[in-house]
Amino acid sequence: MARSSLLHRFLALSSDTRARVFGMALAVSAVCALVVSAAYVTLSPRIDANLAAERSARLDAMIANLPGLQDLLLDAGADNLESVIVDLRTGLAAVNPPDVLDSEALIASPETSTELSPVDDLAGLKRRPDFAEIFLLSSGRELVLAIFPVYGQGYQSTIKAYVALEGDLNTIAGFTVTEQGETPGLGSKITDLTWLSKWPGKALLDEAGALKIAVVRGQAQTDYEIDGITGATRTGNGVSAMMQFWFGPNGFGPVIDALKAGELR
């Protein structure tokens, strides 16, 4: 048979002929690629489920750590944390929100995302999803807390985080990173509680009302600066760019305007 004789001829080649070298290199890479891809495809639903569970656990942990919030929730009834799906093009509640609000799924389609020009694309997103789920907590008629999901390009991974703002929509109540793959021991310190605890009380805007929040190198000097992490300058820059984008005009800017004008509640 032709095929088996070809195989036999291949096996009979002296182990150093060029055909044998190329043949083995191809065969080993092909089989390994197949095995790795198969494992990824089979296991990724479970890994994604683990990631989602981690994300919601971290959001819960951030809410649990916000000072005074537990009492407010108890006063207002625990289900008062209201989820609103907003349309970032209008800043208002979405009329026909898509079922899946995962950013990767949203940016896959031009109908649910907007292409960003290189000038606007501060956080390295390429496309911005048009919909996002934010959480609002009100006490009576007054907004007490608003939680926004943000993401952006770090040094070597996509960083995903939640930012909680107080009722003035300027003071940061909490910041938590839900997903990152930065350098372990350096950039990955953005998930440490000691670093996250530097965020509450900081402000998005400076005295003149310009969006200034940033992770700086070294020690923070003002209310809108966060201490940098030594050895993780580019991770800090990524977080800064992410905040600049998402709280700017192409991110949640219109949503925050609508919230201030009382058009979202």
Partner 1 sequence: MTPSKTLKAPLIDDNPITVQILGICSALAVTTSVDTALTMSLALTIVLVAASGIISLLRRLIPREIRLILQITIIASLVIVADLILQAYAWNISQRLSIFVSLVVTNCLVLGRAESFAMHNPVLPSLLDGLGNGMGYSLILLVVGILRELFGAGTLMGVMVLPLRSEGGWFEPLGVMLLAPSAFFILGLLIWAIRTWRADQVEADEFTLAEEVR
- Footprint on this chain of partner 1 (rule: CB under 8 A): 11, 15-16, 20-21, 24-25, 28-29, 32, 35-36, 39-40, 43, 46-47, 50, 53-54, 184, 188
Nearer to partner 1, 53 or 74 (CB): 53
Query: Whole-number minimum distance, CB 16 to partner 1, in Å?
Result: 6
Nearer to partner 1, 6 or 28 (CB): 28
List C-alpha distances in Å: 104 to 158, 230, 245, 261.
Answer: 11, 31, 17, 31
Is 64 exposed, middle or buried, given 0-12, 13-18 or 19+ CB atoms closer than 10 A? exposed
Query: Whole-number minimum distance, CB 12 to partner 1, in Å?
Result: 11
Nearer to partner 1, 42 or 96 (CB): 42
The one-letter code for the residue type at 254 is P
Distance CA(146)–CA(185), nearest Å, equals 31
Nearer to partner 1, 14 or 117 (CB): 14
Query: Whole-number minimum distance, CB 51 to partner 1, in Å?
Result: 8
Instruction: Go through 100-115 and write b for each residue having 16 or more CB atoms within 10 A of its CB, e for each that does not.
Output: ebebeebbeeeebbee
Distance CA(185)–CA(73), nearest Å, equals 36
Query: Whole-number minimum distance, CB 39 to partner 1, in Å?
Result: 4
